[in-house]
Structure 1
Amino acid sequence: MVAEANDIKINKEKYEKAAYILKAVAHPTRLAIIQLLDIQDNLTVNEICETLECEQSLISHHLINMKLRGILKSQKDGLNVYYSLKQREITKLLSCIENCECNM
């Protein structure tokens, strides 16, 4: 039996928000940054670079992108800028990925 269009209730707004967030984090380095900030909040660019063994320019690019999309926040302290998760719920995405059994 095929459901009629009137019977299907799709929360378009919820899926649009989900797609926006997925696009914002759809990169292995960005996912690693999120995981790192979930483990240890308030890290500098240099601390993230050292831990992930990536170049500073690459990490800065990803941090700025995620900050502009509202996923991260930053706080300046002297010469250092500390990054943390603005949307802590984003870590649920990491949990889903870790537990996914879809032939990854």
Structure 2
Amino acid sequence: MAAVAYKINKEKLEKAAFILKTVAHPTRLAIVDLLSMQERLSVNEICTILECEQSLLSHHLINMKLKGILRSEKDGLNVFYSLKERDVTKLIECIENCNCNF
């Protein structure tokens, strides 16, 4: 059998690993899922929907914003978040369609 030539695209794999590490938490995945259905949500709205503490949620939101997954917009006293990298929603779809045994 002949060996198949395969060239690893390190840059692509590193970007994928970076995104996976960034969203690899149930709360972060839930945020991505929510923002895939809504154009933007305030911190309070996300907090209410996910039933989590605002300080914990803010930590996740800031982390994902700093890593380029989310963007934020201040409107008065509220901060609204939206997806900057919309393609990250494909991860959710892939996971939902996966027939892995977990």
Whether these two folds match at TM > 0.5 is: yes
**Structure 1 residues 1-104: aligned runs within 5 Å:** 1=1, 3=3, 7-104=5-102
Deviating 4+ runs (over 4 angstroms):
none
5+ residue gaps, structure 2, are none
Cα distance in 1 for partners of 2:21, 2:51 equals 23
Cα distance in 2 for partners of 1:103, 1:2 equals 34
5+ residue gaps, structure 1, are none
TM-score by length of 2: 0.95
Cα distance in 2 for partners of 1:60, 1:3 equals 50
Paired AA for residue 82 in structure 1: F
Paired AA for residue 101 in structure 2: N
TM-score by length of 1: 0.93
Per-residue Cα deviation, 1:37-77 (whole angstroms, up to 9, x for no partner):
11112111110010000000010000000000000000111
Percent identity between the aligned chains?
73
